[in-house]
Amino acid sequence: MRANRLKLSERSKILLLSLLVGLGSGFAAVLLLKSISFIQSFIFPIVNKGGFSWAALVFPALGMLISLLLTLYLIKDNISHGVTKVLLAVSKKESRIKPHNMWSSLLTSAITIGMGGSVGAEAPIVYTGAAIGSNVGRFFKLSYRNITILLACGAAGAVAGIFKAPLAGILFTMEILLLNLNFVSIMPLLLSTLTATVVSYLFTGLHTPFACTIAPFQMGNMPFYLILGIFCGFCSLYFTRVTLKLEDRFAHLRKPFVKWGIAALGLGICILLFPPLFGEGYNFLGTLLNGGAWNFDGESPIAGMLRTPWVVPIFALLVMLFKVLSMTFTNAGGGVGGTFGPTLFVGALAGFILSRSMNLAGLQLPEQNFALVGMSGLMAGVMQAPMTAIFLIAEITGGYELLLPLILCSAVSFGTTRIWEKYSIYAKQIAQSGDLLSRDSDKAVLTLLKTDELVSDKYPHIYVNQSLADIIPIIVNSTVTDYPVLKEDGSLAGMLEIDEIRKHMFEPEDASEISVRSLMLSPRAIVQEGEKMESVMHKFDVTDAWRLPVLDCEGKYIGIISRSRILKAYREELKQITKED
């Protein structure tokens, strides 16, 4: 009796574990920030001695190389693209993330970014937090649904911890991780993000991540924020498409050290021409957000251009365009980092470019305000997450005074991007493969169902060289209505339907004279091994069949998949993802 009283309900267990996951994610975020800062305390004084320094070219390449060696020989797994990997884990791998991801992304990204890699720390920490949540759930042997809730708690806690932005952490899981949340899952997320944020404040102080000087908001500037939203939308398209195109080019290079060499050279050229591309660029963001001036004399061969007023926004435009290249070079060359930070960097530049250009034309726009709002616009377009963008930027900068421009710019940027790009930079490649978990419950369930797990090989086998007399005993002792007809090599010849056989079974002619070949029909459709369930259901709908044969890649018969079995599995899966305890 006493043991029963002490036994926790599933809901209580999830709430307690969400606190644990929040603590883990918060400490992981703090550890990553402290590790990056520690490495930079040795690297940056060497690089920033004044004037051009070859160290600015050497250290990022060295950081990429160390991360590559750790990945190849210690971790032995692909750990890049953290947010995309989390999406894939939820969609295909029952929210299971390998235990090493609780530390591997943290270690390699700290080295990559600390030594000057032009990427952000946010995607690796999201992967780390999600891995903590996933493995805590697996340790306590929770169901797929509850493991997914803890995975979301870990990811949300990681965002909250690294940005001190609890609300943005929750919105991140809804918009970017595409998770359908109900009241049951909202409570663990609130506990996780709150815990992670408190941990971050305790160990890193009460300051916001991006201190900025905000000019008073003026309603008359709203039309210009609308223009900024459109500009950010087109910048988002450039960011997404160039990144994915360049990554695809590097993916065709099979030798990792060749990729590192090409990427290190490309990154070095970018930093040589544009010093702000060294590292995350957050120090440079501070200059933009506080209305500071640019000065790279002696650091860049083309810094002299900045003495001409109209060339400053052009130089900023080049920095913005090359930031996408430097980020991709860093990741392709073996470095580990994300697009989150570069998105903020490019967005701030977009706001600065537009406002500076208009000011040179005779207007008086607050450049720091436009830089701040531009960060939100780029995030809304690149990540297809306008709510996350609005509240993250407001939380990390304290810029709630600019809430109206943030909403307008983010909404317009999101809408502009969606005209040409349906998916975010994280989801596009998964969506193209058909593995993306949809917000729509029906599509989400179909994505989770695996064709191979629903194939049955219990149907009697009939061979093409048999006669009706040979198969009558099989039919009499069977309850199925469709039979696969096989060739001797195991490939499918056709299908027999009971309605076609019945009319011959009771006719006076000799059944041994009637061949199976003359009775069989072509299958209404063929299902391939591993085919996406949405495609399988489309074939059932088009053919109005109840059973279809499944073949492997060589055309050999595997078994039969039935509509009734799919519907049963669908109902069970739907119960799991919509269940409220």
Whether 211 is covered by a domain: the verdict is: no
Assign 577 a pLDDT band (cuts: 50, 70, 90): low
State whether the Cα torsion 191-574-84-228 is positive or negative.
negative
Q: What angle separates helix 166-175 from helix 183-204, to the nearest 10 degrees?
A: 140
Whether 439 is covered by a domain: the verdict is: no
Coil, strand or helix: which one is 338? strand
Domain span holding position 332: 219-434
Co-location of 375 and 461 in the same domain: no
Co-location of 155 and 276 in the same domain: no
Q: How many domains does the chain have?
A: 3
Q: What local confidence, expressed as pLDDT, does residue 207 receive? A: 82
Domain end marker among 136, 171, 204: 204
Highest mean pLDDT: which range of 91-95, 183-187, 327-331, 526-530? 327-331
Nearest CA to 306 out of 323, 321, 318, 324 is that of 318
More reliable by pLDDT, 138 or 513: 138
How far, in Å, CA of 130 to CA of 28, rounded?
A: 11
Is the pLDDT reported for residue 468 higher than 90? no
Assign 573 a pLDDT band (cuts: 50, 70, 90): low
Whether 198 is covered by a domain: the verdict is: yes
Q: What is the pLDDT of residues 110-119, one digit of tens each?
A: 999 999 999 9
Q: What local confidence, expressed as pLDDT, does residue 258 receive? A: 93
Q: What local confidence, expressed as pLDDT, does residue 2 receive? A: 45
Tell me the DSSP string of 464-509. TT-BHHHHHHHHHT---SEEEEE-TTSBEEEEEEHHHHHHHHTSSS
Co-location of 486 and 567 in the same domain: yes
Assign 472 a pLDDT band (cuts: 50, 70, 90): confident
Q: What average pLDDT does range 467-482 have in this prediction? A: 76
Domain with 112 in it: what CATH number?
A: 1.10.3080.10
Domain end marker among 434, 469, 500: 434
Helix %, strand %, coil % for the chain, to 5? Answer: 65, 5, 25
Co-location of 474 and 510 in the same domain: yes
Highest mean pLDDT: which range of 62-66, 424-428, 563-567? 62-66
Co-location of 145 and 291 in the same domain: no
Mean pLDDT computed over every residue of the chain: 84
How far, in Å, CA of 377 to CA of 437, rounded?
A: 25
Co-location of 187 and 240 in the same domain: no
Co-location of 407 and 548 in the same domain: no
pLDDT exceeding 70 applies to what percent of the chain? 86
Domain end marker among 364, 399, 434: 434
Co-location of 371 and 420 in the same domain: yes
Whether 209 is covered by a domain: the verdict is: no
Whether 59 is covered by a domain: the verdict is: yes
Q: What local confidence, expressed as pLDDT, does residue 448 receive? A: 61
